[in-house]
Amino acid sequence: MSGTLVLDSEGLSRYLRGDRTVTARLEAARLDDMRVVVSAVTIVEADPQGANRARVSWALSRLAVEPVTKELATAAVALLAEIDSSGGHKYALDALVAATARAAHPPVVVLTSDPEDLERLCGPRVAVLKT
């Protein structure tokens, strides 16, 4: 494997709905032998209700879904403390995405609609790209 691409909820939502730009980016990642990852919590946040059910099943079958473990949750809490976030609930899901990215095989890229918050949470080891 030559690295990991992590999707946040907007990246996943666009992929589930067949967005050509995100789909092309994921295909390029696969061609580069990158592992494409999504946190289990991101599936809920992405709200796949508006997407075609067959498309959702197909898309999710092509992703590595990482569980939210006690270790990842603890890492997410530590990241929130690092950025001195008093609005923990506002950044909780971003922190879980960041913890998932930080635990992934490098080099790691996160595809997000909110690069500012994820850059702060992920730190310099993870590249953050806007969807």
Task: Count the Cβ atoms, other than its own, within 10 Å of residue 62.
Answer: 11
- Output the tens digit of pLDDT for each of the chain's 131 residues: 689 999 999 999 999 988 999 999 999 999 999 999 999 999 888 876 777 788 888 889 999 999 999 999 999 999 999 887 665 677 899 999 999 999 999 999 999 988 998 999 999 999 999 98
Report the number of secondary-structure helices (H) and strands (E) in the chain: 7, 5
The pTM of this model reads 0.91
